[in-house]
């Protein structure tokens, strides 16, 4: 069978997105999904996203890492699938959808998509850095000269360390530019390499920088290798809430699966 696919990117974090409302895609075939995401033998992407029907929301988002396994929440992917739902005519400028971590609201303004993330009640700190779950588990490490780091080597060392070996963790390296601006580079589990951007990662960084009093603001700009994202939030005695990840989502091309 032949099926259409769409290639999307959000600040360089790229995805294969498929309309699976007809339940035609073999989503239990890990090898096939991994092959589609392979940059030599497939389409090439950091992950694959399926848009499916939902009984009470606009749609359901199912996300797979490049290794072919279904994974936790992907922030940039959530923004891209919102853009895709608009393209399909399922929504106009607002959406409510379900992902693996629960319900999300999103608003599309031109090619910027604002995605509401889950409430974060806890930030843990250990010798490696600050640990935050923003729909996916992240560790945030403050560094100097982030552009000079060997992120693949340093990230893998933390990701496969004894403390995180069972489930793995995404590793974010952050350098302060000024009070509300930070450079970020992320090593992503499932991709097992640095990606150009990570939505849940920059969200974790923004909250960590507020937690560490590195920023006074509740609107933070984050520079990734793939572009600029913003995170705004509210902080009170219950933790971080009303968290929004803001950035571009772009449809790159449409193609047809033939194998």
- Give the residue numbers annotated as catalytic, written as ranges: 74, 198
CA distance 217 to 113: 21
The strand pair at 227-236 and 250-257 is best described as unpaired
DSSP codes, the chain: --EEEEEEEETTEEEEEEE-TT--S-TT-HHHHHHHH-TTTSS--SEEEEEE--SSSSEEEEEEETTS-B-S--HHHHHHHHHHHHHHTS-SSEEEEEETTEEEEEEEETTEEEEEPPPB---EEETTEEEEESSSEEEEEE-S-GGGS-HHHHHHHHHTSTTTTTT--EEEEEEEEETTEEEEEEEETTTTEEES--HHHHHHHHHHHHHTTS-S-SEEEEEETTEEEEEEEEEETTEEEEEEEEEE-EEEEEEEE--
Residue 227 φ/ψ, nearest 5 degrees: 145, -170
- For the chain, state the CA radius of gyration: 17
């Amino acid at each position: 069978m032949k099926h259409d696919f769409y290639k999307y990117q959000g600040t360089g974090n790229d995805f294969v997105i498929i309309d699976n409302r007809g339940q035609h895609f073999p989503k239990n075939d890990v090898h096939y999904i991994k092959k589609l995401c392979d940059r030599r033998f497939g389409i090439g992407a950091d992950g694959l996203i399926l848009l499916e029907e939902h009984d009470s929301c606009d749609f359901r988002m199912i996300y797979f890492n490049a290794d072919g396994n279904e994974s936790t929440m992907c922030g940039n992917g959530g923004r891209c699938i919102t853009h895709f739902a608009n393209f399909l005519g399922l929504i106009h400028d607002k959406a409510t959808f379900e992902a693996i971590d629960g319900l999300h609201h999103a608003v599309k303004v031109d090619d910027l998509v604002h995605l509401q993330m889950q409430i974060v009640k806890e930030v843990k700190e250990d010798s490696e850095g600050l640990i935050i779950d923003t729909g996916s588990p992240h560790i945030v490490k403050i560094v100097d000269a982030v552009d000079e780091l060997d992120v693949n080597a340093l990230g893998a060392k933390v990701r496969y360390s004894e403390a995180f070996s069972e489930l793995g963790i995404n590793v974010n390296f952050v350098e302060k530019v000024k009070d509300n601006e930070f450079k970020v580079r992320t090593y992503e589990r499932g991709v097992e390499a640095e990606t150009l951007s990570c939505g849940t990662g920059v969200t974790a960084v923004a909250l960590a920088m507020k937690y560490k009093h590195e920023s006074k603001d509740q609107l933070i700009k984050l520079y990734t290798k793939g572009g600029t994202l913003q995170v705004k939030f509210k902080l009170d005695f219950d933790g971080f809430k009303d968290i929004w990840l803001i950035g571009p989502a772009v449809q790159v091309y449409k193609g047809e699966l033939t194998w």
